[in-house]
Chain A
Amino acid sequence: MTSNAITATRNAARGGAQHPLIELTLARLREFVREPEALFWSFFFPIVMSVAMAIAFPSRGSQPVRVGVAPGAASEMLRKTLSSSPGVIVRDVPADEELHQMREGDVHVIVRPGNPPTYRFDPDREESRIARMVVDDVLKRAAGRSDPWEAHEDAVAIPGSRYVDWLIPGIVALGIMNNSMWSIGFMTVQMRLRKLLKRLAASPMQKWEFLLAQVLARLLFLGPEVAVPLIFGALAFAMPVRGSIIAIACVSLTGAIAFGSIGLLVGSRVRTLEAISGLMNLIMVPMWVLSGVFFSSANFPDVVQPFIRVLPLTALVDALRGVVLEGDTLGGIRLELATLAAWAIVPFSIGLRIFKWR
């Protein structure tokens, strides 16, 4: 470790110890790797999440629609016609179960026989509207409708534009937020409870060095944390990684520092583990929903869009997707990086000032 003489002399002056910033970071790292649960959550959670999502949403376009018909002879013709179409799955649904099965997504539309037939569907649900159109199309053709022409189809199914491609960078961003905030916010509160912060404040330790070390220790695990789900996505789903590794590293690093310093601010005065859990959720859960990790934030009304834009998770998700999927350079995502940098600097400065050591 002490390859050159200068370091050796300096370390000798500290009785064999490294620079305090290094020792503080090492302490945090050792504590972390000696906690197997923590390791599990940072590395396997993103993979488990991606797999689960990929299974739940394979490729949206090719999903067959599920149609419910009343059991019995009255629906026999309907059942036959609909089953002959490859994009339709027909299920028998007794009348008293229709609403339940539609709510659970077991069937997307209910068709009642008649001339003309009746469609029961939920216009607020995308898959219900699609199912209604598909059923309508199949039944009308069977009834003898003749179309003026059949369009040529040019289906896009290239890797990079599927849902799973869109999802994985989002999950990486989510992991960066969760791990940074929890590990730093939670640990500071725990150290405060154990009066370790007070003990450290009684030593000549520089306070900013301690706080910076908490953020730094967080960064050393960032590499595998980001790489594991991305590599998994590339191998298992042929997800393209178009941007440079340096750009991905820069984005992840800025994001982790930003959330680390937010975690520091959140934990700066809290005295109980219950309070910190509540506060963390209060801050993170809205971002899970708003920042476009699982579905596009374009779904939210225009008035809230400026607010969504300045959220740190939105900036991180957008920057990661830009780099990974679109091959953006750092210049192309400078706005997101600037947003994240602001989230890194401001909470850290406030946190350092209001931090309670006892």
Chain B
Amino acid sequence: MNHRDATTEAVGACAPVKTSENRSVNTAAVQCRDLRKRYGNVVAVDGLSLDVLRGECFGLLGPNGAGKTTTIEILEGLLAPDSGDVEVLGLRWKHDERQLRQRLGIQLQESQFIDKLTVEETLRLFRSFYERGKTIDELLALVELESKRSSWVVKLSGGQKQRLSIACALVGDPDLLFLDEPSTGLDPQSRRQLWGVLQRYRAGGGTVLLTTHYMDEAEVLCDRVAIVDHGKIIALDTPKSLVAGLGAPKVVVHEGTLEDVFMSLTGRHLRDE
């Protein structure tokens, strides 16, 4: 596995910064404290707190129904939490929504674009909402969809659709990118292509917060990972430390992976949707 040790260690070094009091403009891209959200009797998010540092790629890992999507949608300003405090890029949804939306890139789980628009028309539509950002050509090159420029969205493969979705999220040159299960349902090749896009975005200094239930994806992409279950964070560290630390089962003969940590922590092998 390709651990990017240098990055991991650099981030690991500044991971324990606690800056909840001041505005922390230079360190935290996302800060949330004690988020709670319930739907009827179901508690989706149960007192969750986390910090995402600028420039890092932060992964929310968890089984289905753990509260990952609810959490990320609260951070994206699409859902209001029942209680708790959210600060994104030093701004708050209540007062700075317009400014925030200009600076965020958001990819939602399962959202579909207009079938009979071309890739280029779709990008142009999204580009028109942003005051600054990339050109259509730059975007097409970034997500390797140049050859599909004039194809209707409905004709794209799953991987191509997902890359279009990422391109629409990147259209305004965001400071912070939210991705909700970006590679679910993709074949291995498409996933690797997607990872390439994200690594190129991060090379430009962008911050990423993603949810996934692929452990290998988290190990490759993320500087830090939070494992979420029942609406709470049950472990938070670099993938390497998580594997090396207490969470890793001693019985495994082969070198431990994040998957081993995940299974031992959440303890459930099969989950219903």
Q: Which residues on A are within 8 Å of B, measured CB to CB?
A: 13-20, 22-24, 26-27, 30-31, 34-35, 194-196, 198-199, 201-205, 358
Contact B129 A205 (CB under 8 A): yes
Contact A30 B117 (CB under 8 A): yes
A18 → B minimal CB distance (Å): 6
A-B contacts, 25 listed (Cβ < 8 Å): A13-B132, A14-B128, A14-B130, A15-B135, A16-B127, A16-B135, A17-B127, A17-B128, A19-B128, A24-B125, A27-B121, A31-B114, A34-B116, A194-B111, A194-B112, A195-B110, A196-B112, A199-B111, A202-B101, A202-B106, A203-B106, A204-B98, A204-B101, A204-B129, A204-B172
CB of B76 within 8 Å of the partner chain:
yes
Q: B77 contacts which chain A residues (CB < 8 A)?
A: 202
Which chain B residue has the least Cβ–Cβ distance from A20? B128
A192 → B minimal CB distance (Å): 11
A27 to B120, CA, bound (A): 11
A194 to B115, CA, bound (A): 10
Q: A15 contacts which chain B residues (CB < 8 A)?
A: 127, 130, 133-136, 171
Contact B128 A18 (CB under 8 A): yes
Contact B111 A204 (CB under 8 A): no
A271 → B minimal CB distance (Å): 15
Contact pick for B130, options A30, A31, A204, CB 8 Å? A204
Q: B113 contacts which chain A residues (CB < 8 A)?
A: 196, 199
B142 → A minimal CB distance (Å): 13
Q: A202 contacts which chain B residues (CB < 8 A)?
A: 76-78, 101, 104, 106, 108
User: With A14-B130, A17-B125 given, is the CB distance from A201 to B78 under 8 Å?
Assistant: yes
Contact A30 B121 (CB under 8 A): yes
A35 to B154, CA, bound (A): 13
Which chain B residue has the least Cβ–Cβ distance from A195? B111
Per-residue 0/1 for B91-114: is the Cβ within 8 Å of any A Cβ (1 yes, 0 no)?
A: 000000010011010101011111
A214 → B minimal CB distance (Å): 13
Contact A27 B98 (CB under 8 A): no
Q: B116 contacts which chain A residues (CB < 8 A)?
A: 30-31, 34-35
A19 to B129, CA, bound (A): 8
Q: B102 contacts which chain A residues (CB < 8 A)?
A: 204
A195 to B110, CA, bound (A): 7
A35 to B114, CA, bound (A): 12
Q: Interface size on B (CB < 8 Å)?
A: 35
B8 → A minimal CB distance (Å): 30
Contact A203 B129 (CB under 8 A): yes
A98 → B minimal CB distance (Å): 57
Q: A204 contacts which chain B residues (CB < 8 A)?
A: 98, 101-102, 129-130, 172
Q: B136 contacts which chain A residues (CB < 8 A)?
A: 15-17
Contact B124 A16 (CB under 8 A): yes
A14 to B172, CA, bound (A): 9
Q: A20 contacts which chain B residues (CB < 8 A)?
A: 128-129
The 6 nearest A-B residue pairs measured at CB: A204-B101, A17-B128, A195-B111, A23-B128, A34-B116, A199-B111
A347 to B2, CA, bound (A): 57
Contact B117 A27 (CB under 8 A): yes
CB of B131 within 8 Å of the partner chain:
yes
Q: B135 contacts which chain A residues (CB < 8 A)?
A: 15-16
Contact pick for A358, options B78, B117, B132, CB 8 Å? B78
A22 to B129, CA, bound (A): 11
Contact A195 B129 (CB under 8 A): no
Q: A23 contacts which chain B residues (CB < 8 A)?
A: 124-125, 128
Which chain A residue has the least Cβ–Cβ distance from B124? A17
Q: B76 contacts which chain A residues (CB < 8 A)?
A: 202
A14 to B125, CA, bound (A): 10
Q: A31 contacts which chain B residues (CB < 8 A)?
A: 114-117
B194 → A minimal CB distance (Å): 18
A144 → B minimal CB distance (Å): 76
User: With A17-B128, A27-B114, A35-B116 given, is the CB distance from A198 to B121 under 8 Å?
Assistant: no
Which chain B residue has the least Cβ–Cβ distance from A193? B112
A34 to B104, CA, bound (A): 32
Q: B115 contacts which chain A residues (CB < 8 A)?
A: 31
Contact pick for A198, options B108, B126, B128, CB 8 Å? B108
Per-residue 0/1 for B5-45: is the Cβ within 8 Å of any A Cβ (1 yes, 0 no)?
A: 00000000000000000000000000000000000000000
Contact pick for A27, options B101, B125, B127, B133, CB 8 Å? B125
User: With A23-B125, A204-B102 given, is the CB distance from A195 to B78 under 8 Å?
Assistant: no
Per-residue 0/1 for B193-220: is the Cβ within 8 Å of any A Cβ (1 yes, 0 no)?
A: 0000000000000000000000000000
Which chain A residue has the least Cβ–Cβ distance from B99? A204
